[in-house]
Structure 1
Amino acid sequence: MTHPQSATSISDLVERASAEFQNRFGHPPAYRAAAPGRVNLIGEHVDYNGGFVLPIAIARWTVVVAAPADRADGSGWTVIASDLHAAEASFSPGKPTAEPTSWVNYVHGVADLCRAEGLTTPPMDMVIASSVPIGAGLSSSAALEVAVATVLERACGKTMEPVAKAHLCQQAEHRFAGVPCGIMDQTISCLGRADHALLLDCQSGESIQVPMPDRNDAAVMIIDTRVHHELSAGEYAKRREQCQAALICIRDRVTTAFQSPPQSLRDVSPAMLESCGKSIDPLLLKRAGHVITEMARTEQAAEALQCADLTRFGQLMNESHVSLRDDFEVSCAELDTLVESAWAFGEANPGTVFGCRMTGGGFGGCAVALVEPGAVGTLSEAIRRDYRNTVGLDPAIFVTHAVDGARSL
């Protein structure tokens, strides 16, 4: 998929998808829906540990247009991904997929689970168009799932509660795509609010909308490394295992000293961790240390946003990156180059860069920065120059803002 430098509007995506639909199926689509991607401002690798995250829905969209299949034989669903060279795939709800790793499984999973929840439609034809970069850690898969669920709501005339829709889409990704993702991505795609971040408690599912700074005071810049190291999937699973192993070790050692044993790393206080001392493997101690401090940073960051304290918020972003790099070890040379370039620019030009950190699972993908809007151009030039000189690639850079979540059109 191409990585557009400037945002493509929803109307442009609808027009492109509708033209593809007309060309392939001979009639216009009957239903249209859109769902946004997301960037996580802070709170990394804590969602599966019951922690807090602070994402925004971004002005990058996945649009799905659809209509009942006009085929006499009543055969299965046909889906076209216009951004994957008009790739076409088919499936039949309730039947196993022929290709377990195919992109169409995200659609298949949502269709099957919607059907199980009573959102029943006839076989559908669909076309997908998206401006959410694939593989950049901006939740292209969640945007697709939520857009499909939203268009199916429209098609059957029923509406799910947004939180229920998010959970359905998460289960579709678990069961049909084989990805053990947390709940953050689908939740922010459903619950995003313009000019707000979402402080999401991944343990209770509760959330609070937190006002973002005025766009004249701060801009959200996303910087894509355009690399994705192959070890990312295996290392992601390894980090989850290490967090669980750390929890078991901590639980075994603190049960006698504290009244109730921790059920997740969310329940582990700094005092508990410190009490374990050298009795825990140093690597597991580092992994748990990141999770525990990142949870605290995320709550503090939400408070800083509430108070419009951009300096403090940026400091917490920087601390998050250092922890992810040194203690959780999920950064990479390319991400560090981007982040350190932004930091250096901010040091040389005070007041221009509030903070910058890697975002997403790591080992490639994107960095996110909160910057002074007037500095976007010169900062982008400096980052591009440093990245080209060090890595030999041209990063994709764009400015975005917090938008509303999924909607039918």
Structure 2
Amino acid sequence: MANNVPVPTYESLDKIYDSSALAKQGPRYNALVEKFTSIYGRKPDFIARSPGRVNLIGEHIDYCGFGVLPMAIERDVIIAVATTDDDSKVRIANMNPKYEPREFDFEGKETIVTIDSTKHEWSNYFKCGYKGMLERADNLEKPKGMYLLMDGTVPAGSGLSSSAAVVCTSALATIEANKLPLSKQELTEIAIVAERNVGVNSGGMDQSASVFSEQQYALHVEFVPRLSTRLVRLPETQPPMAFVIANTLVTADKFVSGPRNYNLRVVETKMAALFLSKVLDLPSSDSLKEVFDSYAAAAGKDNSEVAKYDALLERIANIFPQDSSNGQGYSLEEVSDMTGLPVQTLKEKYMTRFPVETDYFRLVQRTHHVLTEARRVVEFVDVCSKAPANTLEVLGSIMNASQESCDKFFNCSCPEINQVCEIARQHGAYGARLTGAGWGGCTVMLTTESNVPTLIEAIKDGYYRQKFPELSQDQLDDAVLATKPGSGSAVFNGF
């Protein structure tokens, strides 16, 4: 798809949302404009909008270089904006009263604005987009002053990328306020880098899905040789497909659990790639995507993408040496022997920048998950393009296989995720899997439009009311929700 197109401006909400959402979104936008007017004594000039996202397939493979398949959801962040030439101050308020109003000023071209990433401050995410955008605006000496009111419906900390939605929306608001001629690609690239100002080292999937998505489409995001996106139309099925997202409400503190979970998985995939590139006599690499590409190229066969994965999986089926831990994994000394790198080199290269804690490195299991999951992304896209009569069953089986692999081979599921997925399958979900990093967070289920109410009620009864009986109705509605593939970033001025 063309990545250098501008972010669209719409005067009608039906260009942004599915028709089923208009009865809810119309009053929401009206309330935002009314509240803005009551706070600032004037109407906004425009509203900037960016959605959250859910990843349909492709878990823990983006940092290995493989493509993923997210889609935007209806839940989003909207910011009403008015500008002034009287000063360069930014005044930002939130529709949610628990987020107190903030004000800051432009600090000059060198600094733009100071962001204290040690403080968990809601306005920092707006500052990220603001700072990232103005750093790119070479010809802008002094930005417009801005009056802002934000409203967000992406549940924070749910794995649906609420932070990326805020950063993309704030960057878009800054673009539009200062009439900067930037494309979707530039907005995405700036938002990816900008979010790192609050300590989030993003790979780019979240921002790409938030900016580039369109209604009725998923987005195939690839990272090698550079970030690129391609729209994948989700097929029209009979009965019509729908997706339900359920947040387990289990959170994994990345600072506490990262050394044994996320950080460790990254290191294990890199060590596996080093070993495979060595034993397969390929150029040395710590990227499983580069190993796959090199092997496929060396094979020289004009096979389908799925067949190339099958060939590599078959080739490495018995290639890993026996470990000394009865299948638990390899010691660091064994990894050293396998890769030919000294223990100290492995520690310095892979275990110092981000802390890692483990007794064993499970290279066999991690390799199996990454390669089969990357294959599942290709399969999912292929099924969407061919739309066989049993599309729902086939896509569901791919999602179920992904969940099983995440649970058994990548060990990034948890009992609560497994429970929600099982309840979903028992109540009309064709497929159910974790989405996001795992170890808690969200699940995504494929079902039919007519079955959505039944499925949601079953999850509320079988999971939330059992495990979290104190939840209010509003909290329940936030925790489990239906969604369709939604549109990406846009500017709205139809008021």
Shorter-chain TM range is 0.7 to 0.9
Q: Partner of 2:461 in structure 1?
A: 385
Q: Counterparts of 1:9-28 in structure 2 under 5 Å? A: 9-28=24-43
Q: Partner of 2:375 in structure 1?
A: 296
Q: Which residue type is aligned with residue 104 of structure 1?
A: S
| 2:185 is the alignment partner of 1:163 | yes
**TM-score with structure 2 setting the length:** 0.73
Q: Partner of 1:80 in structure 2?
A: 93
CA distance in 2, matches of 1:333, 1:42: 20
Aligned residues of 1:246 and 1:285 also touching (Cα < 8 A): no
Q: Partner of 2:51 in structure 1?
A: 36
Secondary structure in 1 aligned to 2:159?
A: coil
Q: Partner of 1:343 in structure 2?
A: 425
CA distance in 1, matches of 2:456, 2:215: 25
Aligned residues of 1:37 and 1:138 also touching (Cα < 8 A): yes
Q: Partner of 2:167 in structure 1?
A: 145
Segment drifting more, 310-319 vs 24-33 = 24-33
Secondary structure in 1 aligned to 2:446?
A: strand
Aligned residues of 2:53 and 2:161 also touching (Cα < 8 A): yes
Q: Counterparts of 1:148-297 in structure 2 under 5 Å? A: 148-174=170-196, 176-203=197-224, 204-214=226-236, 216-225=239-248, 227-236=249-258, 238-252=261-275, 254-255=277-278, 257-268=280-291, 269-270=312-313, 271-272=315-316, 274-278=318-322, 281=330, 283-297=362-376
CA distance in 2, matches of 1:388, 1:190: 32
Q: Partner of 1:113 in structure 2?
A: 132
Tell which structure's C-alpha radius of gyration is larger. Answer: 2
Aligned residues of 1:250 and 1:276 also touching (Cα < 8 A): no
Q: Partner of 1:96 in structure 2?
A: 114
Q: Partner of 1:406 in structure 2?
A: 489
Q: Which residue type is aligned with residue 184 of structure 1?
A: M
Secondary structure in 2 aligned to 1:15?
A: helix
Superposed displacement of residue 406, structure 1: 0.7
- Going from structure 1 to structure 2, the CA distance change for 1:355 and 1:254 (only over 3 Å counts) comes to same
Superposed displacement of residue 382, structure 1: 2.3
Superposed displacement of residue 321, structure 1: 0.9
Superposed displacement of residue 253, structure 1: 5.6
Q: CA RMSD in A?
A: 2.5
Superposed displacement of residue 192, structure 1: 0.4
Superposed displacement of residue 85, structure 1: 2.5
Superposed displacement of residue 126, structure 1: 1.2
Aligned residues of 1:13 and 1:130 also touching (Cα < 8 A): no
Q: Counterparts of 1:317-332 in structure 2 under 5 Å? A: 317-332=399-414
Aligned residues of 2:399 and 2:431 also touching (Cα < 8 A): yes
Secondary structure in 2 aligned to 1:363?
A: coil
Q: Which residue type is aligned with residue 38 of structure 1?
A: R
CA distance in 2, matches of 1:249, 1:367: 28
CA distance in 2, matches of 1:181, 1:88: 27
| 2:210 is the alignment partner of 1:128 | no
Q: Partner of 1:3 in structure 2?
A: none
Superposed displacement of residue 256, structure 1: 5.1
- Going from structure 1 to structure 2, the CA distance change for 1:170 and 1:274 (only over 3 Å counts) comes to farther
| 2:438 is the alignment partner of 1:362 | yes
- Going from structure 1 to structure 2, the CA distance change for 1:322 and 1:84 (only over 3 Å counts) comes to farther
CA distance in 2, matches of 1:249, 1:374: 44
Aligned residues of 1:337 and 1:386 also touching (Cα < 8 A): no
**TM-score with structure 1 setting the length:** 0.88
Secondary structure in 2 aligned to 1:85?
A: coil
- Going from structure 1 to structure 2, the CA distance change for 1:12 and 1:51 (only over 3 Å counts) comes to farther
| TM-superposition CA deviations, 1:135-189 (whole Å, max 9, x none) | 1111111111111122222212223221221111111111x21011220110011
| TM-superposition CA deviations, 1:299-350 (whole Å, max 9, x none) | 11111121222212111100111111222222222221110111223xxxxx
CA distance in 2, matches of 1:164, 1:131: 25
Aligned residues of 2:168 and 2:210 also touching (Cα < 8 A): yes
Q: Gaps (5+ residues) in structure 2? A: 1-19, 107-111, 292-311, 324-328, 331-360
> When the two structures are aligned, how many residues end up with a matched partner?
394
Q: Which of 53, 70, 81 is the equivalent residue of 1:66?
A: 81
Superposed displacement of residue 82, structure 1: 1.8
CA distance in 2, matches of 1:148, 1:11: 22
CA distance in 2, matches of 1:91, 1:245: 43
Superposed displacement of residue 218, structure 1: 0.9
Aligned residues of 2:58 and 2:374 also touching (Cα < 8 A): yes
Secondary structure in 1 aligned to 2:227?
A: coil
- Going from structure 1 to structure 2, the CA distance change for 1:242 and 1:273 (only over 3 Å counts) comes to farther
| 2:480 is the alignment partner of 1:397 | yes
CA distance in 1, matches of 2:44, 2:88: 18
Aligned residues of 1:54 and 1:298 also touching (Cα < 8 A): yes
CA distance in 1, matches of 2:263, 2:62: 10
CA distance in 1, matches of 2:410, 2:271: 18
Superposed displacement of residue 69, structure 1: 5.1
- Going from structure 1 to structure 2, the CA distance change for 1:240 and 1:122 (only over 3 Å counts) comes to same
Superposed displacement of residue 90, structure 1: 2.7
CA distance in 2, matches of 1:249, 1:212: 34
Secondary structure in 2 aligned to 1:275?
A: coil
Q: Partner of 2:448 in structure 1?
A: 372
Superposed displacement of residue 388, structure 1: 4.2
Superposed displacement of residue 223, structure 1: 1.6
Secondary structure in 2 aligned to 1:52?
A: coil
CA distance in 1, matches of 2:317, 2:266: 13
CA distance in 2, matches of 1:183, 1:84: 31
